[in-house]
A = this chain, B = another copy of it.
């Protein structure tokens, strides 16, 4: 394992190369970020989800995976669907208020 292996390669105790697709998104100084998505999706699935999109989309994939994994850790039952329900409820409340105006 190179001293500079990315957080993802470190989790697998393997060498990290210049071509490592995970390295730009999971730097070695933030092990927690990869540990989080790995716990929810698994190493291979994270890698596959990044491989399946264009290079310029990968940062957004990582951001959304981190967001969803964080929500799943905070709420193991509903994950980020809890937030979706809360937002939908708020929209319905606002709609009722707006309906009261001409």
Question: How many copies of the shown chain assemble into the complex?
Answer: 2
**Residue in B42, B94, B97 whose CB lies within 8 Å of A91:** B94
The majority secondary structure among interface residues of chain A is helix
Chain B residues within 8 Å of A87, by CB: 84, 87-88, 91
State in angstroms the CA–CA spacing of A88 and B42 once bound together: 29
Number of A residues, CB within 8 Å of B? 35
Considering the complex, give the chain B residue whose CB is closest to the CB of A79.
B64
Does A15 reach chain B (CB closer than 8 Å)?
no
Interface set of A (CB-CB < 8 Å, partner B) = 39-42, 44-45, 49, 52-53, 57, 60-61, 63-65, 67-68, 72, 76-81, 83-84, 87-88, 90-91, 94-95, 97-98, 101
